[in-house]
Structure 1
Amino acid sequence: MKKTLTTLLMTATVGLAQADMITHTVDYEIDGEAYQGLLVYDEAVTEPRPGLLMVPNWMGVTDNAAKKAYRAAGTDYVVFIADLYGRDIRPTDAKQASAAAGEVRSDRAVMRKRVNAALEVFKAQSDTVALDTQRLGAIGFCFGGTAVLELARSGTEIGGVVSFHGNLDTPDPDAAKAIRMPLLVLHGADDPYVPPEQVAAFEQEMRNAGVADWQLLSYGGAVHSFTDPSANVKGQAQYHPRVAERAFMQMRSFFGEVLAD
């Protein structure tokens, strides 16, 4: 099945998180380059469900990203983990991840193109899984939080996006005038990588652009990567179980509203 930007290929099941949770790899292309995402869903649910496009943190498509997708999906959603680097780029440490993420972050046009292409790939999965393509949202973590905000700034129209501890800066604040969806930003109040000045600039960006529906929640005592159980750099990037649980609850409440039938 070929499209202008993407070629889709569903391959074998690669893992299970729990009894009925399925993970499939999905190979696709953007401008002739190979990418590989992950489709995550509960096989026991047969009725069409809303979908969440997920952009993972700077480590890209990993087992840890799949675990986070399982947590987000439950029985309520189908999740597609987008590949923003390319199939052959799979960082194994922070240095490699920083290089890969930095290259994409430095070119927001590329970031937007890749995240929008992944969204189109996701929509095509309705041939494989019970997915309601009229009810789609997007979530992102750290680097991925930046990416889903750029998805919104690109003018794409879906139900809404949620950024978890993502960077809020953008080289073109005026692009926010194109936002046509609700936004929920979940932020660690003590995140050293997203300082108060960046938060204030984001809030002003939203006001100046006249964005109709945006929320920013700051969690006291939380730093970067507060939803990531593997994050353990004290005071910089650190898992916070209570805040993580609250953040996922906020995500579910948000999508329960904006993706309602």
Structure 2
Amino acid sequence: MKKTLSTLMMATAASMAGIAQAEMIATAVAYEIEGQAYEGMLVYDDSVKDKRPGLLMVPNWMGVTENAAKKAQRVAGSEYVVFVADMYGKDIRPQNAEEAGKAASAVRSDRTIMRKRVNAALDVFKAQAGEVALDVDHIAAIGFCFGGGTVLELARSGTQLQGVVSFHGNLDTPNLADAEQIRTPVLVLHGADDPYVPEEQVQAFKAEMRSADVDWQLNTYGGAVHSFTDPTANMPGKAEYNPVVAERAFAAMHSFLADSMAE
């Protein structure tokens, strides 16, 4: 698994940047939650020996995939160690939108399970400090689509982090009062024309954050719909890659994390 993913990551880096990054590593990490097998992915630049902050990454509804590995590589660079969380279990690897929707809905419908799994992945990530130069005192969480909603639930669970960043994620939650438990800065990167996150949900999220006096930011990008950071998204008007907005959103993430990690 390690060799296959490492090869993938090197090819991805070369294709994206035009420069081979031979030291980029992606290693499968097996773990268990209540006796069920899960498998996440640790992604980092092995040429950097100094401790780096960590990013727990929750991928979109397709779960732990090659595309998730590519996105983790982009995010990690030489600055971060990234752990891609498995929210479904090792034996659940969606092959299409129908399977992904079923798997994601099962988790979204039970926020207790969602929070338990994402917190367990965070614990597994911290335990990797013995394997890689990870600064466990400086860890943030990021998520995409389904993963964006998941990391917001991680924040609502009261977990202490350096920050949480949601890319085109859902903003709803069953219990708005849970925002009182948030102990981390929050950044939401949202497409203004996202049909899956209607304006009513955005306004409810704003009210939730204000009422709980959370340290929060919401960046809204005109002309962007769902999945704007995903190069494979090709549903015009619904879920569609927007390279310009994607670059702006990633720049906003890096600026936010630079501030939050400095604390």
**Local SS of the residue matching 1:25:** strand
Looking at structure 2, the residues matched to 32 and 65 of structure 1 have their Cα atoms a distance apart, in angstroms, of 25
Aligned to 2:135: 132
How far is the alpha carbon of 1:198 from its aligned partner? Answer: 0.4
Q: Which runs of 5+ in 1 are unaligned?
A: 1-10
Measured on the aligned residues, the alpha-carbon RMSD in Å equals 0.9
Looking at structure 1, the residues matched to 123 and 176 of structure 2 have their Cα atoms a distance apart, in angstroms, of 25
Aligned to 1:25: 28
Aligned to 1:54: 57
- Deviation string, structure 1 residues 177-205 (Cα, Å, up to 9, x no partner): 00000000000000000011100000001
Q: Which amino acid aligns with 1:254?
A: F
Aligned to 2:109: 106
- Deviation string, structure 1 residues 110-140 (Cα, Å, up to 9, x no partner): 0000000000000000010000000000000
User: Which of 230, 237, 241 matches 1:228?
Assistant: 230
Aligned to 2:4: 14
Aligned to 2:257: 255
Question: How many percent of aligned residue pairs carry the same amino acid?
Answer: 66
How far is the alpha carbon of 1:209 from its aligned partner? Answer: 1.5
How far is the alpha carbon of 1:243 from its aligned partner? Answer: 0.4
Aligned to 1:219: 221
**Local SS of the residue matching 2:4:** strand
- Deviation string, structure 1 residues 22-57 (Cα, Å, up to 9, x no partner): 000000000000000000000110000000000000
Looking at structure 2, the residues matched to 159 and 15 of structure 1 have their Cα atoms a distance apart, in angstroms, of 28
Aligned to 1:169: 172
How far is the alpha carbon of 1:14 from its aligned partner? Answer: 3.0
Whether 1:84 and 2:74 are equivalent positions in the alignment is no
Residues 14 and 25, structure 1, Cα contact 8 Å, conserved in 2: no
Aligned to 1:4: none
- Deviation string, structure 1 residues 53-83 (Cα, Å, up to 9, x no partner): 0000000000000100011111000000000
How far is the alpha carbon of 1:210 from its aligned partner? Answer: 1.8
Q: Which amino acid aligns with 1:225?
A: S
> Which has the larger displacement, 11-20 or 132-141?
11-20
**Local SS of the residue matching 2:165:** strand
Residues 140 and 147, structure 1, Cα contact 8 Å, conserved in 2: yes
Aligned to 2:97: 94
Higher helix share: 2
**TM-score of the two chains, using structure 1 as the length reference:** 0.94
Residues 58 and 151, structure 2, Cα contact 8 Å, conserved in 1: yes
Residues 202-217 of structure 1 mapped to structure 2, 5 A cutoff: 202-211=205-214, 213-217=215-219
How far is the alpha carbon of 1:208 from its aligned partner? Answer: 1.3
Looking at structure 1, the residues matched to 63 and 196 of structure 2 have their Cα atoms a distance apart, in angstroms, of 19
Q: How many residues of Structure 1 are paired with residues of Structure 2 in the alignment?
A: 250
Looking at structure 2, the residues matched to 248 and 67 of structure 1 have their Cα atoms a distance apart, in angstroms, of 14
- Deviation string, structure 1 residues 157-194 (Cα, Å, up to 9, x no partner): 01010000000000110000000000000000000000
**Local SS of the residue matching 2:256:** helix
Aligned to 1:41: 44
How far is the alpha carbon of 1:260 from its aligned partner? Answer: 1.9
> Which has the larger displacement, 195-204 or 16-25?
16-25
**Local SS of the residue matching 1:170:** coil
Looking at structure 1, the residues matched to 228 and 246 of structure 2 have their Cα atoms a distance apart, in angstroms, of 6
How far is the alpha carbon of 1:15 from its aligned partner? Answer: 1.7
Looking at structure 2, the residues matched to 70 and 250 of structure 1 have their Cα atoms a distance apart, in angstroms, of 18
Residues 14 and 24, structure 1, Cα contact 8 Å, conserved in 2: no
